[in-house]
Structure 1
Amino acid sequence: MGVELTALHWIYVLFILFIICFMVMRRDTTLVCIAGIFLIAITATGSLSGSVSSIFTSFIFAITELLSTILVISIIVAMSRTLTATGINDVMISPFARFIRTPALAYWTIGILMMVISWFFWPSPAVALMGAVLLPVAIRVGLPALGVAMAMNLFGHGIALSGDFIIQAAPKLTADAAGLPVGDVISASVPLVIVMGAVTTITAFFLIKRDMKNGKLTAATGIANNSPSALQADSSNAQMLSLNQKRFFALLIPLLFAADVAAMFVLDLQGGDATALVGGTSIFILLIITLAAHRNKGLEKTTSYLIEGFQFGFRVFGPVIPIAAFFYLGDSGFTQMIGDYLPKGSHGIVNDLGIGLASVVPLSKEVGAITLTAVGVITGLDGSGFSGISLAGSIANLFAAAIGTGAATLTALGQVAAIWIGGGTLVPWALIPAAAICNVDAFELARRNLLPVTIGLVVTTIVAMFLI
């Protein structure tokens, strides 16, 4: 076999199974992850005090690894709050309203615009940025609110978030867990994101057209109540900026982010460097808009918006930290969290398991692809999409070590499956932003998304088998 599997390896496998079981039962996995870290630490060191300390050390390690991701998302959300409060988002999106003349144009225009904005702002803030402006236009040309919600949901929380090419939060998590460079995972995810996105959105479009034609999808379908949503209510803001100022900022912001993208290509910026560029630009935008809009109160409002952003960031990533801490134990994080206690000749717990598995079970790329899709689906059931992708990356590393190839593709496949399920397209409690802005029932939205997303996952898994 070439490597000795010890109690550490079996405890790690056991807790992976526990985590999957708890996710299937829709229970929180934080306690399980902490117990796993403690048990692995005490087995490795034999020291009670050292094992208790390892829990805290593992959290520090995970937060350190994730800090740039948490920070950039917090800043982007803070910036989006300023755009919503000042009405700049209305001006940014309103020119696109003139292109929406039919239900089909409404679906594709809203979807593609949502995807592009979500690459830079993340989907939940993007919903607030554009939903209130384009929803009435779409309804006026005959696309029901449920169809608008599906378009925003599938293109934003599906395509944009599963690839996450600009902010790179998702590939950072999966790449770290799989022990791969971020750029490799992003490159491998491009064909999978394209296939998944195309199959799902086209299928959803034809189902919407069919149901509109036979009367199953009408303006009243899925409507939650008759009151405006909270996000729509927020859009009626005070006139803090003149129309010319709003137009200036509405033009400046896309130009600045376009310059960021150009700089990424020209300077070959990836991972942390790309994240830092987007984050710095977002801070700059936040500052100038807040000072221009709030004038004398600009200093205090800047802090207020940042606090809102950080609250959002840590609320989203709070459940991720213990899970990521556990899965970092499977690779290079073990030595930094616990110490040099791995068996002699070990290449890390996950790599050891992969080598051991390869010597016992003849694994194929087909089995690996199906398993990673299943793991992604299961881990997405918690409604986060992000809390389980470390597990997907870790298992992808394990299978790639066993098969001998395809680490980046398997990692990307697990990431795509987890985020499409849990990031906001199927799990009802993850659908709330799009459902709220469109004033539709989240469970009805999930039911409508089920068939397109399922077909997309099947096709994408088959494509991945050929890419491994």
Structure 2
Amino acid sequence: MDVSLLSLHWVYLAFVMLIIGFMVMRRDTTVVCVVGIIALGLLATHSISQSVGGVFSGFIYAIKELVGTILVISLIVALSKLLIRTGINEVMISPVTRLIRTPALAFWVIGIVMMIISWFFWPSPAVALVGAVLLPVAIRVGLPALGVAVSMNLFGHGIALSGDFVIQGAPKLTADAAGIPVSDVISASVPLVLVMGAVTTVIAYWYMRKDMKNGTLTASTGLAAAAPGADVPPESSADSPLSPAVRLGAAIVIPILFALDIVAMFQLHLQGGDATALIGGTALLIMIVLSILTHRSAGLEKTTSYLIEGFLFGFKVFGPVIPIAAFFYLGDSAFTDIFGKVLPEGSHGIVNDLGLALAQTVPINTAISSVTLTAVGAITGLDGSGFSGISLAGSIAHLFAAAIGSGIATLTALGQIAAIWVGGGTLVPWALIPAAAICGVDPFELARRNLKPVVIGLAVTTVVAMFLI
């Protein structure tokens, strides 16, 4: 057996560790991933041209795998920008403002509304949808702006994004890397998301109430000027070209259409790409109709403008993900697709082979596996994306599950949750800017406020995962 083929596994593992190291140092990993693909290609094919071409082929493979996720997120962001500019978002959320009468109600109502909207519109655009309308109401009843930012962060960028049950962008990435169906990751993540969400939000609320009583959290705590380029509505509802009746009708019809999508998913057993396609198609059709109603004769051109804004957002978010995904897909079936059938006879893929070898040499158990996946997920989140490293989490979950013989879906979901809670917008300061800008608070102060609840939540969720494997 060719020694160079056997060394593929060690080189792959070495680059995995190198990527983790770069993430810990908060350095970009794109170059490392490209070098890793070339190195694996040279070992596998002994051809410079094939290994260099393998980088491009790997990117193409990753884009093909991710294009559905990128597209649906781009469409939803495009729709959300149109809703903000027409003032329909204000009408959609206005009934909730009547429920907000105390700081406690403000914290929980804003959080729950943020979570629900984030399931359908993703957290970053949802921040603008929710914050623009509910922030003044919350401040009026006595909840500091920092408390509003915490609520939106934990429920939106934490609970909603880490589960991503509707759009299914996050579970698609981790499921592909782990080599399992998206539905398995979603099912396994439900109890973990519930535990993580409940523990984190209750502790955050307890700390907030305690600090409000002793005077360390006031209306002026953590206030800062809004960040340049913050995603705030460029028009108020008073300037909207739509009449109040049309805005009201749209505010009623849009949630009904998305609710019908959810019903269709259950009735027709739509999951993964099929469910994503239904949500994306609905968002696109709503946007086209609203754009024509809003801009009339310029509606055709404006529709394209909104699409461009959405695509700019989508590729900005997923730009760092593609090189990392391209490398980690090589751990499974993508290797054969890109470099041909060059793995040793009897190989089940690089990650599977490493898992089997690990099982024979190291006493891996559920506790060690769970702690490791939480740590890996948290480390990959340090780049502030939350998404760029979840392919790594899925790949390592595959490896550990092969070693212990079970729990691949739970381990994958655990790594996904840790990565997104840390990097998706609750702990890393530069990922907190959307919520911090809308609320006018310092992102570093928001990160400090979130730190204890999120760390405690991750610890409890990791322990729960040990019993679910």
Partner of 2:325: 324
1:305 maps to amino acid = Y
Please list the CA deviations of residues 19-54 of structure 1 after superposition, one character each: whole Å capped at 9, or x if unmatched.
000000000000000000000011000011111111
Aligned equivalents of 2:341, 2:327: Cα separation in 1: 17
SS at match of 1:6: helix
Relative to structure 1, is the Cα distance of residues 220 and 235 closer, same or farther in structure 2, using a 3 angstrom cutoff?
A: farther
SS at match of 1:89: helix
Contact 1:5 1:352 in 2 (8 A): no
Is the counterpart of residue 44 in structure 1 residue 44 in structure 2? yes
Q: CA deviation at 1:375?
A: 0.1
Please list the CA deviations of residues 167-198 of structure 1 after superposition, one character each: whole Å capped at 9, or x if unmatched.
00000000000000000000000000000000
Q: CA deviation at 1:453?
A: 0.2
SS at match of 1:234: coil
Partner of 2:12: 12
Structural mapping, 1:140-155, within 5 Å: 140-155=140-155
Q: CA deviation at 1:233?
A: 5.3
Please list the CA deviations of residues 126-170 of structure 1 after superposition, one character each: whole Å capped at 9, or x if unmatched.
011111100000000000000000000000000000000000000
Q: CA deviation at 1:410?
A: 0.3
Aligned length: 465
Partner of 2:462: 461
Structural mapping, 1:403-422, within 5 Å: 403-422=404-423
Partner of 1:163: 163
Contact 2:77 2:313 in 1 (8 A): yes
Partner of 1:72: 72
SS at match of 2:377: helix
Partner of 2:198: 198
Please list the CA deviations of residues 406-452 of structure 1 after superposition, one character each: whole Å capped at 9, or x if unmatched.
00000000000000000000000000110010000000000000000
Partner of 1:394: 395
Q: CA deviation at 1:84?
A: 0.6
SS at match of 2:216: coil
Relative to structure 1, is the Cα distance of residues 233 and 69 closer, same or farther in structure 2, using a 3 angstrom cutoff?
A: closer
Aligned equivalents of 1:436, 1:242: Cα separation in 2: 30
Partner of 1:375: 376
1:41 maps to amino acid = G
Contact 2:387 2:424 in 1 (8 A): yes
Is the counterpart of residue 183 in structure 1 residue 189 in structure 2? no
Please list the CA deviations of residues 380-431 of structure 1 after superposition, one character each: whole Å capped at 9, or x if unmatched.
0000000000000000000000001100000000000000000000000000
Partner of 2:344: 343
Q: CA deviation at 1:337?
A: 1.4
Contact 1:132 1:235 in 2 (8 A): no
Structural mapping, 1:88-99, within 5 Å: 88-99=88-99
Contact 2:226 2:437 in 1 (8 A): no
Partner of 1:306: 307
Please list the CA deviations of residues 47-96 of structure 1 after superposition, one character each: whole Å capped at 9, or x if unmatched.
11111111100000000000000000000000111101111001100110
Is the counterpart of residue 242 in structure 1 residue 243 in structure 2? yes
Aligned equivalents of 1:372, 1:235: Cα separation in 2: 44
Is the counterpart of residue 127 in structure 1 residue 127 in structure 2? yes
Aligned equivalents of 1:398, 1:255: Cα separation in 2: 42
Percent identical across equivalent pairs? 70
Structural mapping, 1:47-66, within 5 Å: 47-66=47-66
Please list the CA deviations of residues 312-351 of structure 1 after superposition, one character each: whole Å capped at 9, or x if unmatched.
0000000000000000000111111111111100000000
Partner of 1:365: 366
Unaligned runs of 5+ in 2: none
Please list the CA deviations of residues 195-243 of structure 1 after superposition, one character each: whole Å capped at 9, or x if unmatched.
0000000000010000000000000000003899844452436321000
2:236 maps to amino acid = S
Please list the CA deviations of residues 254-300 of structure 1 after superposition, one character each: whole Å capped at 9, or x if unmatched.
00000000000111100000000000000011001000000010000
Relative to structure 1, is the Cα distance of residues 226 and 10 closer, same or farther in structure 2, using a 3 angstrom cutoff?
A: closer
TM-score (norm 1): 0.98
Unaligned runs of 5+ in 1: none
After TM superposition, the structure 1 stretch with the greater mean CA deviation from structure 2, 238-247 or 117-126, is: 238-247
Aligned equivalents of 1:327, 1:29: Cα separation in 2: 12
